[in-house]
Structure 1
Amino acid sequence: SNKPYPFIGVSEGHHDLSHHRNDEEKKTKISQINTFHTQQLAYLLEKLDTIQEGDGSLLDHAMVVYGSGNADGNRHSHHDLPILLAGGGSGTIKSGRHIRYSDETPLNNLWLSILKRMDINLDQLGDSTGCLPELS
């Protein structure tokens, strides 16, 4: 969206800033917006971790995906996306790790892996090539 963030000192629209053309001022403002979004995510995850649900926290039983449709909004690049998967997926996800997949790994492999953890068994989703076994 082209939402401005005046409460963090960014009056320009997010989308317009994402096409920064390497303008340092615009890149700084995009960084401010990204920092704000990440802080909001951290707040949500902390809250989920404090809510007890059965034998663990709500976060232990959840799968929260955070990322972007573009790795670089300036180039509209959707390759090498930084994606965060938080939560334990009711024991189906080993957390606390950084996993780097090959550049050819489709994002749909993650969605397929998440669906299988929710007992939605599809053989393929879009351009997926299989599940991500490293998540367990």
Structure 2
Amino acid sequence: MRELSVYYCSKCGYYGYYQLERNAVCPKCKVDMLALSISYQAFMDLPCEERDELLSSQIIASSSPYVKRLLVPHKVNNNREIIARMGDRITELEIENEKLNKTIEWMHQTIWEMVRKNKGLNLSDQEESQKGIDP
């Protein structure tokens, strides 16, 4: 026996569960429905909001360029999405900043070691010269 698959109508958003692709015809639009890439069980495990989000993203992805243009203002003014993207970007920048600070610290140490070697000083000589004692 074949396993159930989830199919949806790209026109109206109706979805259903079918074993055979030939049976997946939208009862409202009378067009062939498209299969979701997610398994039936995984789809059933999703909360309703995530199901709706998955279906709407699939419909938008398969829609005409006109529909995509209509949704552009929504994407621009979607504050929750903008805040989430900004939070992700802040995290990325903090990680990059930490790496750069470590690089600067390493470069600083390396430069001072080179200066000491060029002047022929060792660490104890430098400490004594800072105290005002000549070696």
- The answer to whether the superposition gives a TM-score over 0.5 is no
TM-score band, normalised by shorter chain:
under 0.3
**Greater fraction of residues in helix:** 2
What TM-score do you get using the length of structure 1 for normalisation?
Answer: 0.25
